[in-house]
Structure 1
């Protein structure tokens, strides 16, 4: 490590380019990871919060909650202390006073039952004309205390409280009663259909035309979710692979430039293993410094990003990716290994 650090400090300009490359690649990978994680979370946090791991839906819905309808006869057949009803509908919420509109979702639930969300501000609704909103609505001009309309109706709904991290299909969720959900979706609360039945246990003897899926399956079938996450993961994987190639090429070029120096070191009796160790210590130092600066730039970027951008820093995931970048950089150093092993001291010195 001593030899590696001394050479880096002696040739600052030469190794600065390698550090800058590490910084740019790591920053881009971390930023893409934050966007991918944020977008994935915005699709699913309301579903992640469901207490049960199983969901009963209509079979024709193709595992898509937006298309599912479960009738009263169907959910009565599986009703128990382990189940809870969930109604979902995509809506547009509007504040008539400010004309602020927001694409969002309604989740109709029993507000005193298993699906009751945690209130972070205000209170739970107690009337059909009240709603509890995800606090991300404040990013779009709505706030607690506002009275909103849903899908252009004349009925006004009072936002009496806020909850946190409850989004579905990338937009905020408004929690309300099942009666309000049915009124908005079907035009009358006497139609007792719901979208799904959430359960903490696996059901047997399912009602006709229904199927039970896991929460993970439900999330993977949110429209666009799998395509979005797969695309981002492919981009991140490609960037990590590019890191291997770029750093490998950089270090190979630097190795060629130092052949004469390595020849002198070999002639002085310095073992090949010491030279190889110095090479990999150099890569490790440069990678750690570059990745560290990349993380710092990411933190500064996150502070300045608008709240409406779906960005989320997962510490564990970023740590894994940082480790992968460093490991791939060390693997890239293997490109130079054969050149070092085959250095002939006399030839290297004479060639110079």
Structure 2
């Protein structure tokens, strides 16, 4: 390590370029990861919060919650103490005072049952004309106490409280009664249909024209979710691969430039493994500094990003990405290994190979 640090300090300008490369790539990878995580969470946080892992839905819906509809008879056949009924309908919420419109989802639930969300501000709805909203609606101009209409209906609904991190299909969720959901989706509250049934245990009976899936399958079939996450994963993986190539090329060029110096070191009796260790210590130091600065810049960026931007910093995921960047940088150093091992002291000192 001592040899590596001395050489870095002796050639500051040369190694500064390598550090800048680390910073830029690390920052870009972290930023893309944050965006990918944020977009994925915005699709699924309301589903992640469901208390059961088993979902009964209509078979024709192709595992898509937005298309599923269960009849009262289908729901009654599986109803027990382990199940809960959920109704979903996509709506446009409009503030009747400001004409501000927000794309959103309504989740109809038993307000005192298993699907009851955690209230972070205000209270739970008490009747069909009240809703509990995801607190991200405040970024869209809706606030507690506001009266809204849903899908242009004449009926007004009052926001009586907020919950946190309850979004579905990238938009906020409003929680209300099953009767309100049925009125919005089917045009009348006395239609006892639902979208899905959630259960903490596998369903013993699967009614005709329905199917059982797990929560992960439900999430993966949110329209666009899998394509979106796969695209970002490919981009992030490509950036990490590019890091390997760039650092490998950088260190290979620097190795060629130092062949004469390595020849002198070998002639002085310094072992090849000591030279190789110095090379990888250099890469490790440069990678850790560069990735660290990149992470620091991302931390600053979070404070200036618009609240509407779907960005989420997952510490565990970011730590894994940082470790992957450092490891791939070390792998890139292998490109220079053969040149160092084959250094001929006499030829190197004379300027040859």
**TM-score in terms of structure 1 length:** 0.99
Report the counterpart of residue 328 of structure 2 in structure 1: 328
Query: Pairwise mapping of residues 1-352 of structure 1 onto structure 2 (< 5 A)?
Result: 1-351=1-351
- Post-superposition offset of 1:205: 2.3
Whole-angstrom CA distance in 1 between matches of 2:346 and 2:85? 82
- Post-superposition offset of 1:297: 0.4
Whole-angstrom CA distance in 2 between matches of 1:154 and 1:2? 76
Other structure's SS at 2:223 match: coil
Gaps (5+ residues) in structure 1? none
Instruction: After superposition, give the CA deviation of every residue in 1:182-214 in whole Å (9 maximum; x if it has no partner).
Output: 111111101111000000100122110000100
Other structure's SS at 2:308 match: coil
Instruction: After superposition, give the CA deviation of every residue in 1:265-285 in whole Å (9 maximum; x if it has no partner).
Output: 000000000000000000000
Instruction: After superposition, give the CA deviation of every residue in 1:43-78 in whole Å (9 maximum; x if it has no partner).
Output: 000000000000100000000000000000001001
4+ residue runs over 6 A deviation: none
Whole-angstrom CA distance in 2 between matches of 1:351 and 1:215? 66
Other structure's SS at 1:84 match: strand
Other structure's SS at 1:77 match: helix
Other structure's SS at 1:351 match: coil
- Post-superposition offset of 1:97: 1.0
**TM-score in terms of structure 2 length:** 0.99
Other structure's SS at 2:78 match: coil
Instruction: After superposition, give the CA deviation of every residue in 1:25-60 in whole Å (9 maximum; x if it has no partner).
Output: 000000000000000000000000000000100000
- Post-superposition offset of 1:15: 0.2
Whole-angstrom CA distance in 2 between matches of 1:187 and 1:67? 17
Other structure's SS at 2:17 match: helix
Other structure's SS at 1:175 match: strand
Other structure's SS at 1:207 match: coil
Instruction: After superposition, give the CA deviation of every residue in 1:232-256 in whole Å (9 maximum; x if it has no partner).
Output: 0000000000000000000000000
Q: Report the number of matched residues.
A: 352
Whole-angstrom CA distance in 1 between matches of 2:335 and 2:351? 22
Whole-angstrom CA distance in 1 between matches of 2:118 and 2:208? 34
Whole-angstrom CA distance in 2 between matches of 1:58 and 1:27? 44
Instruction: After superposition, give the CA deviation of every residue in 1:96-133 in whole Å (9 maximum; x if it has no partner).
Output: 21111000000000000000000000000001000000
Whole-angstrom CA distance in 1 between matches of 2:217 and 2:205? 20
Instruction: After superposition, give the CA deviation of every residue in 1:310-340 in whole Å (9 maximum; x if it has no partner).
Output: 0000000000010000000000000000000
Whole-angstrom CA distance in 1 between matches of 2:65 and 2:187? 20
